Amino acid sequence: MLGKLPPKILRKYLLAMTGAPSKKLMVVPAIGIDFGVVKLDRGYMIVSSDPVTGVEKRIGWYAVNVSANDVATSGNRPEFIQSVILLPENSNERIVKAVSAEIHSSAKELGVTIVGGHTELTPGLKRPIVMTTAFAFSGSYVTAADAREGDLVMMTKSAGVEGTAILGNRFVDSSSNSERALARATKKFYSQLSVVGEAEAAFSTGAVHAMHDCTEGGVLGAVYEMAYASKRGFRILESQIPVAPETKELCSRLHINPLRLISSGTLLLAVKPIGEGKVSKRLAEIGVASAVIGRFSGRTRISVRTDGSETRIDEPGTDEIWRISARGARIS
């Protein structure tokens, strides 16, 4: 199985392996947690690392945004970043220039300073892999584990944002006019992959208890991770989850579920009920759409399908982007 390791493997082999104990570690590694928090003399350091492994085009741009997004779910804008760039043996200077330029421009756009990193030619690689670590410093934060009983589940934008950008990009070179048109239409999703601005804006309202970036596993996977981390259940109404027309068309033709499609750029929020209006208004002021898709409550984790049937969500599951890659799917 490609993608993230299953939660049971993480629990068994990784989550307890934290090296030397420290009283300065404020947020321990856990499923659904986007970042680590270290107590400083004044305030906190918030840090997150992420690799980009499933794409080649714009990989440097992706790498900055994914780790910046994770830090931003604390409610704070990232300030610094490091990168590790691993390149195939046959790489040339053109690839180095392209990746480094993408990292530089995307970091500059977010107001993030690059403080260093490592770059090498790596034996055995078929394509570049870029990893980044983002840092923020703040006096307060929220985590994905802070959702409370009765909180509304809100999300921004639409489902499958990143997956739509990735899948649309695969068909740019098709000779079919309809596929070319679809690929062009999906390019707009690249501009939606950052949640930094909306996370900061939502947090500023004081009505947000928890936030989580919808990465692998899509919206349903992210809701599960957030609920698991918070020791909560949920009831999600799939009919209330926004799905863009381009995403619907791609997923229909590839026979995949848009709600389980990787969706960096979609922010999940646990919001106190009386704060819904304040959060949605603040997000609208910066041009970000939002929707209420359910509520955190109890212990069971239920997704209600559009036909009214109910599905219990017990694990995030494999992301659709990895599932179709494994089967070599083509658009039909």
The one-letter amino acid code at 40 reads: L
Sign of CA dihedral 113, 128, 267, 300: negative
Q: Describe the strand order of the beta sheet including 113-121 as a list of residue ranges.
A: 25-27, 36-39, 44-52, 129-138, 80-87, 113-121
194 touches 265 (CB < 8 A): yes
pLDDT computed for residue 166 by the predictor? 84
Query: Which has more confidence, 277 or 191?
Result: 277
Query: Which has more confidence, 254 or 74?
Result: 74
| Percent of the chain at pLDDT exceeding 70 | 94
Query: Which pTM does this prediction carry?
Result: 0.91
Query: Which has more confidence, 178 or 249?
Result: 249
pLDDT computed for residue 332 by the predictor? 42
pLDDT, tens digit (0-9, with 9 covering 90-100), for 41-56: 999 999 999 998 877 7
Q: Which domains does the chain have, with CATH numbers?
A: 7-138 (3.30.1330.10), 144-327 (3.90.650.10)
pLDDT computed for residue 1 by the predictor? 57
As a whole number of angstroms, the distance between CA 273 and CA 277 comes to: 9
Name which of 120, 125, 111, 40 is nearest 80 in CA terms.
Answer: 111
pLDDT computed for residue 88 by the predictor? 94
Residue 164 has pLDDT above 70, yes or no: yes
pLDDT computed for residue 5 by the predictor? 81
Name which of 142, 77, 87, 138 is nearest 109 in CA terms.
Answer: 77
DSSP string, 71-138: HHTTTS---EEEEEEEE-TT--HHHHHHHHHHHHHHHHHHT-EEEEEEEEE-TT-SS-EEEEEEEEEE
Q: Which of 204-208, 210-214, 248-252, 278-282 has the lowest mean pLDDT?
A: 248-252
As a whole number of angstroms, the distance between CA 227 and CA 234 comes to: 7
Which helix (H) or strand (E) segment holds residue 229: the answer is helix 218-230
Residue 174 has pLDDT above 60, yes or no: no
pLDDT computed for residue 230 by the predictor? 95
226 touches 144 (CB < 8 A): yes
Residue 170 has pLDDT above 60, yes or no: yes
